[in-house]
Chains A and B, each alone.
Chain A
């Protein structure tokens, strides 16, 4: 089956620093990837849609200058949280859209837990 990985799985950083999270589709090419944010005991909220070779599309209320997204290849999208603050602490999950074998499905990564001190 289609596999999506994320790195790192956990990261702790100091307030004011930047953190990069990678999302990789391991056995398929994904022209579209999605970034979600999940607060404790809450649902996933779509932050942005990442398209290979073009600018990401951000959801309303998401600061594009704070959450930088780069989708430089068909298997890799990165989310950089710039100047992180404690309120950015959350579980960040990516997904990759897979087309193939008559299916069109989003496959999710295992998530990255960010803690900002």
Chain B
């Protein structure tokens, strides 16, 4: 079985500040890990994914995430927040790219 825990349902950061969204996973097999972003009333857009290659994964819009097996974590970061980053972010774990299990999401608010 696989599961994902996202710590913090709401995160607020000031424009220009570091963004850190936390994700911990549980998986009985080597996991595929994903971060998706969802804007209001829209579907999900893939930010980045980890598929057992480099542990530091760079994605779109300046986001990156680091896979840490010892901590079972896959936290999402961005050095400098922009107003357009305000959205809901979902971490997901999959066995390959088949069935994905999503976390409960983190709503990111950017303070001007």
Name A's B-contacting residues (CB within 8 A): 4, 6, 32, 34, 42-46, 49, 93, 95, 97, 104-111, 113
Contacts and interface: CB of A to CB of B under 8 A. Distances in A.
Q: Is the interface of A mostly helix, strand, loop or mixed?
A: strand
Interface stretch (B20-28, B42-50, B61-69, B79-87): B42-50
Contact count band on B: 10 to 19
Interface in B60-111: 90, 96-105
B105 A43 contact: yes
Contacts of A44: 44, 90, 102
A108 B97 contact: no
B41 A111 contact: yes
A110 B49 contact: no
13 contacts: A42-B105, A43-B104, A43-B105, A45-B102, A46-B101, A93-B43, A95-B44, A105-B49, A105-B97, A108-B44, A110-B43, A111-B41, A111-B43
